[in-house]
Structure 1
């Protein structure tokens, strides 16, 4: 099942990042470039790096210039993240290209890759919530609250993993069909963001 593979790879990427815990540590993807595993590892690495950028930019005393620097890096990361999700969907579109959907086939609320995107973010939430349960400097109330939240996150991962696997089976059997919409983000596009294109006048 793809969810088991994805969850294993996500944990691998998260653990690898935290060996160094440095935003600009070079990505070393261990998987063949043309493989789905490569995309899954890349996806979670991007998410992990961005998670820590989001932490930095929320420093209450951050210099506004530094805040703007990190905000722009986060915007760039979001674009790469979106592109990577769309590459994963392209993989599945090609995989299921020969499947003829049944006449009663239904469309899903989201594509397989965007569901996998949520699974990657969930892996990060689980990792960091578990770290909170291990803090020696936190009181017992905090630790117990984090244990409770961690249990919910683990249950959520189980449910989401099952849903992703079932979705892919449904698509493979023609019970559902894929229809992918490009995100068409506008704020990074100089021709679509009015603040950017007004500068050209």
Structure 2
């Protein structure tokens, strides 16, 4: 099942990142370039790095200049994340290009890669909420509240994993078909963001 592969690779990527726990630690992707596994590992690594950048930028005492630098890094990371999601969808489009949808086939509201994107973020939430349940310096109430939230996240991951597997099965048997829309983000494009093209 595709969800089992995703969740395993996401856990591996998160664990690998936390060996050094350093935002600038270079990625060491163990999978063959252009393989689905390579894309999944890259996707979760980007998410993991960005998770920690988001923590840093929320420091209320951060110098505004430094904060702006982090915000720009986060913007660049968001664009990279979107690009990798679209690469994953391209992989699935190629994988299922020879499947003829049935006459009654329907499109899904979300493409496989965007479901996978949500699974990657969920893996990070599970990892860090688990950490919160294991803090020796936290109150019993904090541990109890975080344990409650962790169980919800785990249940959510189970449900989302099942939905992803069903979607892939539906595409494979022709009852659903893929139609991918590029995100067409405008704020990073100097030709589409008026603040950028009016300051040329």
Q: Above 0.5 in TM-score? A: yes
User: Paired residue for 2:191?
Assistant: 191
Runs of 4 or more off by more than 6 Å in structure 1? none
Residues 56-100 of structure 1 show CA distances to partners (whole Å, capped at 9, x for unaligned) of: 000000000000000000000000000000000000000110011
The aligned residue for residue 66 of structure 2 is 66
Partner of 2:136: 136
CA distance in 2, matches of 1:194, 1:136: 50
Q: How does 1:85-104 map to 2 (within 5 A)?
A: 85-104=85-104
SS at match of 2:179: coil
Partner of 1:170: 170
Q: CA RMSD of the aligned region, Å?
A: 0.4
Which TM-score applies when normalising by structure 1? 0.99
Q: Which residue does 1:155 correspond to in 2?
A: 155
SS in 2 for 1:87: helix
Count how many residue pairs are aligned between Structure 1 and Structure 2.
200
Equivalent in the alignment of 2:124: 124
Q: Distance in 2 between matches of 1:99 and 1:193?
A: 39
TM value normalised by structure 2: 0.99
- Alpha-carbon deviations, 1:123-169, whole Å to 9, x = none? 00000000000001110000000000000000000000000000000
Q: C-alpha deviations, 1:91-118, integer Å up to 9, x for none?
A: 0000110011111101101000000000
Q: Per-residue deviation at 1:34?
A: 1.8
